[in-house]
């Protein structure tokens, strides 16, 4: 049985800015993947999906201009590309409209975290490349279970 748990984090200022930067990186990766897919479709008539896009992003990271991507977890960009690919697949199945670019102002800041690297205790959550973030509500998340698709989101300035 799958259950959803939504808990509030209490990050310090440095962690808060790292959370916003990770969300911005996810937004950038989604927009980049969508732009690459649209451009490839205009040239060839076929869309590129997540496997090809992730390979291109890996090559892009090796350039000095995009070396800043190494400061963030690779799972943030990888899942953003997968999310873009899922949105495109839903469009082709006629289940959704064509995906649009995410803006800083209209889009809720959020990003994916790898469940294998997620460490949860009674009082803290260990996030990759961000560190131990305090939980505002202690003991609300079960410990010793597997987590599926953990997302970190910001709602009105609260993570």
Distance of CA 36 to the CA centre of its chain: 18
In this prediction, residue 128 carries a pLDDT of 81
Query: Which range, of 16-25, 40-49, 83-92, 135-144, averages the lowest pLDDT?
Result: 135-144
Q: Which residues of 11-21 are buried (b: 16+ CB within 10 A; e: fewer)?
A: beeebbebbeb
The full set of domain ranges for the chain reads 9-153
Distance of alpha carbon 39 from alpha carbon 37, whole angstroms: 5
CB contact at 8 A, 85 and 33: yes
In this prediction, residue 1 carries a pLDDT of 63
Compute CA distances 79 → 33, 109, 112, whole Å: 11, 14, 6
Distance of alpha carbon 54 from alpha carbon 58, whole angstroms: 6
In this prediction, residue 136 carries a pLDDT of 85
In this prediction, residue 149 carries a pLDDT of 80
Is the confidence at residue 44, as pLDDT, over 80? Answer: yes
Token pair recorded at residue 4:
């959803």
Q: In the chain, how many H helices and how many E strands? A: 3, 6
pLDDT (mean) for 91-119: 83
Compute CA distances 87 → 32, 35, 54, 123, whole Å: 14, 13, 16, 35
pLDDT (mean) for 19-28: 89
Q: How confident is the model at residue 127 (pLDDT cuts 50, 70, 90)?
A: confident
What integer best gives the mean pLDDT of the chain?
84
């Amino acid at each position: 049985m799958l259950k959803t748990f939504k808990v509030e984090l209490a990050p310090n200022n440095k962690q808060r800015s790292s959370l916003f930067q990770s969300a911005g990186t996810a937004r950038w990766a989604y927009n980049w993947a969508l732009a690459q897919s649209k451009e490839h479709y205009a040239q060839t008539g076929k869309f590129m999906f997540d496997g090809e896009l992730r390979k291109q992003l890996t090559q892009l990271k090796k350039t000095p201009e995009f070396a800043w991507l190494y400061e963030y977890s690779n799972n943030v960009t990888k899942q953003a590309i997968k999310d873009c690919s899922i949105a495109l697949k839903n469009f082709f199945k006629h289940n959704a409209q064509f995906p649009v670019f995410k803006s800083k102002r209209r889009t809720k800041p959020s990003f994916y975290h790898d469940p294998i690297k997620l460490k949860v205790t009674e009082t803290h959550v260990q996030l990759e490349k961000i560190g131990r973030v305090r939980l505002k509500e202690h003991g609300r998340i079960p410990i010793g279970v597997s987590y599926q698709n953990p997302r970190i989101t910001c709602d009105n300035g609260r993570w």
